[in-house]
Amino acid sequence: MGAPEFQTPPLKEYPVIPILAKDAMAGSRPYVASEKMNEAIGFPGKLVEGWQARAIAKMGELLGKYRSLKVFLDACVHCGACTDKCQYFLGTGDPKNMPVARQELVRKVYRRYFTFAGKYFPRLVGAEDLTEAVLEDWYRYFNQCSECRRCSVYCPYGIDTAEITMAAKEIMDSVGVGQKYTNEIIGKVHRLGNNLGLPGPALADTLETLEEEIKEDTGADVRLPVNEAGAEVLVITPSADFFAEPHVFSLIGYAKVFHAAGIRWTLSSHASEAGNFGLFIGSYEQMRKIALRIREAALELGVRRIVVGECGHAWRVAYSFWNTLIGPFDFLDPRYPAPQHICELTDDLIRRGAIRLDKEANDARVVTFHDSCNVARGAGMGGIARGQFIIPRRIIQAACNHFHDMAPETIHEATFCCGGGGGLLTDELTELRVKGALPRMEALKAVVDEHGVNFMATICAICKAQFSKVLPYYRFDMSMIGGVHQLVGDAIRLGRND
């Protein structure tokens, strides 16, 4: 629907840096938000009068608020080290998808209005006025960046294109050019507490049905409680976990872990969403407002621990930002003073012998792990260096016998984004999403061919949705993608632990 026809790129044996295909993706453009959607979250409804001056003023404001932006716009030497690091460039060949070229869309405007050289010698330094054509380029190409930060790993100054993309989106929102997918969802989370717009009673119903299904499957009374005051743990999980496949299998996995460990937990209908799209549009205020619901829910329910489910960008926000945004968490159990990842909790239980897994249950699976970029490059885990790489793999290897990592230059902090992050997970961007997944698909194909891998585990709701959609384009089975706690859920012993 909406998306033009395109060809899925062939999977090559060795990744090749594409030759430049100018304007190859100039047609890729997400739907703009309606007036109502923008206004609902405090932005002007449509392109405002005098937008140019207002955009420049906003840029000035952001330059005073974010050191990252200020330094990054000055420091780039055009060395080109980042040019072949973005999955969207590798998949599309469009030169404006090279990180430095993407940054340049903002930098040329910054130069023009904020630097001596750009004011007086614009041609020399590539400075340009903020025209309607430039704004249009912004809208297209900043909606072709998943804010995955891969470029930042390789830049000699750590210039993070994601910070620039966020600034550009914030400026666009401030003059009334919002993106539909993200802004509509932010409206929903403010209204109903989750991105899907699922009201409380419907959530309770869904959870009840799941309990019945688990009972039928296993015979055990595994519970999925919601709004239970006095529970020890509040679980904040992406709302896709309530509905979508394969997400829901991980939710079942968490429930079984709590059941087997005998920990009282609850979900909250007030904060029934881990995802925080405020991050994607670069809005500190939106991000904070969305996150505050979680603090409110935790205080109201009187929980002693907060645990976050499988969601990449949510974990970045939770791990790296929550303490600043909605902290301090002085009301939590001093043994768990910071919100935790579900993988930290499960890993700890496995290592203490508090839950037991039967690996044989997963013997039909040959597993690999996709490091979700927001976890890999924007967060940590377990209070140990590289914990976000070690812990999920340790859990997988406790839950199954056959595990193979993909090529080293495609995992850990070098991981490729799935292609659907950063607010791009919308149907009209299908071409971009399919092409952006190319590097990951090539790495996957190598382990499929070599080791017979038939399951790619991940801990991100967007990754799961994105891969379910794009795997078939590359002739993989869409059920290859699943969660780490899906593996745990299938292997865990629910009875007595002896």
Partner 1 sequence: MSAVTIIYACLFYAATAMLVVGLAAKIAGYARTPAPLTVPTTPAPRTRAGVALRMAREVALFESLFRANKWTWLFGWLFHAALALVLFRHLRYFTEPVWAAVALAQPAGVYAGFAMLAGLAGLWARRFLVERIRYISTWSDHLMLALLVLIALSGLMMKYVSHTDVVAVKAFMLGLMRFDWQPLPADGPLLVHLFLAAALMALFPASKLLHAPGVFFSPTRNQADDSRERRRLAPWAAELEKK
Contact track, ligand HEM, 48-77, x by CB under 6 A: -----------------------------x
Amino acid at 12: K
Count, residues near ligand HEM per rule CB under 6 A: 3
CA angle 188, 192, 194 (to 5 degrees): 70
Nearest CA to 140 among 87, 179, 86?
A: 179
Q: Which DSSP letter does residue 232 get?
A: S
Binding site for ligand SF4 (CB under 6 A): 76-82, 85-86, 88, 99-100, 102, 145-151, 155-157, 159, 161-162, 165, 312-313, 372-374, 417-418, 420-422, 460, 462-463, 466
Minimal distance, residue 461 CB to ligand SF4, in Å: 8
Which of 26, 53, 75, 79 binds ligand HEM (CB under 6 A)? It is: 79
78 binds partner 1 (CB under 8 A): yes
Residue 385 interacts with, from ligand HEM, partner 1, ligand SF4, none (CB under 5-8 Å by kind): partner 1
Residue 102 interacts with, from partner 1, ligand HEM, ligand SF4, none (CB under 5-8 Å by kind): ligand SF4
**Distance from C-alpha of 340 to C-alpha of 357, rounded to nearest angstrom:** 21
Helix (H) or strand (E) holding 291: helix 284-301
Cβ proximity to partner 1, 298 vs 366, nearer residue: 298
156 binds ligand HEM (CB under 6 A): yes
6 binds partner 1 (CB under 8 A): no
Instruction: Kindly list the strands in the beta sheet with 340-341, ordered across the sheet, starting from the edge strand earlier in the chain.
Output: 265-266, 233-236, 305-308, 340-341
Positions in 142-181 near partner 1 (CB under 8 A): 149, 152-160, 163
Which of 223, 313, 377, 445 binds partner 1 (CB under 8 A)? It is: 377
Cβ proximity to ligand HEM, 79 vs 364, nearer residue: 79
Cβ proximity to ligand HEM, 84 vs 245, nearer residue: 84
Minimal distance, residue 16 CB to ligand SF4, in Å: 18
Intra-chain end-to-end CA distance of the chain, in Å: 54
Report how far apart, in Å, the C-alpha atoms of 61 and of each of 54, 55, 70, 170, 171 are: 10, 10, 11, 11, 10
Instruction: Compute φ and ψ for 305, nearest 5 degrees.
Output: -140, 150
Is the distance from CB of 205 to CB of 237 less than 8 angstroms? no
3-class SS shares of the chain: helix, strand, coil, % to 5: 55, 5, 40
Helix (H) or strand (E) holding 469: helix 461-470
Nearest CA to 363 among 336, 403, 393?
A: 403
Cβ proximity to partner 1, 320 vs 454, nearer residue: 320
117 binds partner 1 (CB under 8 A): yes
Residue 462 interacts with, from ligand SF4, ligand HEM, partner 1, none (CB under 5-8 Å by kind): ligand SF4
Minimal distance, residue 272 CB to ligand SF4, in Å: 20
C-alpha 278: how far from chain center: 12
Minimal distance, residue 226 CB to ligand SF4, in Å: 26
Q: With H, G, I as helix, E, B as strand and everything else as coil, classify residue 329.
A: coil
Beta-strand runs (E) in 350-389: 367-369
Report how far apart, in Å, the C-alpha atoms of 410 and of each of 85, 153, 164, 371 are: 11, 13, 24, 9
Which of 19, 262, 334, 498 binds partner 1 (CB under 8 A)? It is: 19
Beta-bridge partner residues of 381: 384
228 binds partner 1 (CB under 8 A): no
Which of 29, 46, 54, 70 binds partner 1 (CB under 8 A)? It is: 70
Residue ranges in contact with ligand HEM by CB under 6 A:
77, 79, 156
